[in-house]
Amino acid sequence: SVAFSVPLSYDPVYLKDQASIMPHPREGTNTHLGIEEMIDMFKKDKRDGVPMAGVVVTDGISKEKEKTLLQSRLARDLGINMFSVGVGRYTEEEELRGIASNPDQAIKVESFDELLKILSELVQLVCPNKCMMPGVVAYPNDVSKNCRLYWKCEGEESKLTCCPRGFSFSAPVQSCIPDPKCVEPCGDEGPICNKRPSVYQPTIYEELIEGYGWVQRSCPPGTAYDRVTCGCTITQTPPPPKRVCRVLVHIPFDIDCVDTSGNGFLIKNHGVKFTRTGLALFEGKAKLVIPNIQRYLGSNFLVKMRYKEFPSFETQGLLSNGDCYTPMTLQLIKDSIRHTYKIENSYRQRT
């Protein structure tokens, strides 16, 4: 008789605990009794649409080889995909092949340590990774009866995933489809929220009350309804947007006085000479004029320029915003001693 039997279970912790306390009957290798017990389990607890697989692990030749081969054939006739694993030198390859559904499913290893090393390969052989099959992007979770739960393929990995509430997984289309009856909790979801935001303003929400339907409520002052917490939370003032300094005009002087900022400003050249090394020579009254740029400057702007001074006792103008038709309100000038900045506001006040 079978010395110890563990019922089929979805609980891996329970199965490991039961395996750790299995007694050894010391009655020899009665492989046929184990296969017979497996057949009875499948007959009682077989699930429709779920493949059946049986793995026989033995470290010796069966005491009754003919009965072992008979039970193996009965298992295969029942539709059980049989695998055999022989551990150690006291197993027989012919018997292992007779147990397995095909010779490729008969495995022989030298020790249990070696079996441990190939365990993941054995699991993949017994339960193939469907995500490695062509065209498979998702497949049902056959273990659970939750209509929302399914396996989603991420590369060659299977990730347990839940359909949204009101949707169930459909194997033919490998996707979630509308199903109003499929609303059971799934995964680590919390309780269903009985509140929803109002369409009028964030400080008002609606609560579903049994017998009354959706009732409008107001959040306390300083709070607003939050979908995530399913309640009113303290509102926080968003930080002011960070100022970004964007380039308005860029003149590198590499070929000509051309604006390379992408804004396409017209630059008028009055006597400025250019070299092929990225330099511009301003002599006498030479200048560059950018018409109408003032309207784009705003209240804050930054001017960067790099230049080499030539010895001179005369006052030189570096930057100004005036021309023949517009009075000057901004000047950057230098003489032989200092640089001078002059700014005039709309009230004719000067700095």
Domains and CATH numbers, the chain: 12-126 (3.40.50.410), 130-178 (no CATH), 195-234 (no CATH), 268-343 (no CATH)
Spatial CA neighbour of 259 closest among 298, 287, 290, 283? 290
In 101-236, DSSP assigns E strands to 106-109, 138-140, 149-154, 157-162, 167-170, 175-178, 195-197, 204-209, 213-218, 223-226, 231-234
Average pLDDT, integer, range 77-101: 91
What integer pLDDT is reported at residue 261 of this predicted model? 80
What integer pLDDT is reported at residue 287 of this predicted model? 86
Separation between Cα atoms, residue 99 and residue 84, nearest integer Å:
6
What integer pLDDT is reported at residue 227 of this predicted model? 77
Amino acid present at 255: I
Spatial CA neighbour of 57 closest among 123, 136, 124? 123
Q: Which two tokens stand for residue 144?
A: 């659970």
pLDDT of residue 199 exceeding 80? no
Spatial CB neighbours of 201, under 8 Å, sequence gap ≥ 6: none
Q: pLDDT tens digits for 218-251?
A: 888 888 888 777 888 877 665 666 777 788 888 8
Separation between Cα atoms, residue 148 and residue 261, nearest integer Å:
54
What integer pLDDT is reported at residue 84 of this predicted model? 93
Percent of the chain with pLDDT over 70: 86
Spatial CA neighbour of 31 closest among 73, 60, 52? 60
pLDDT band at 325 (very low <50, low <70, confident <90, very high): low
What integer pLDDT is reported at residue 249 of this predicted model? 86
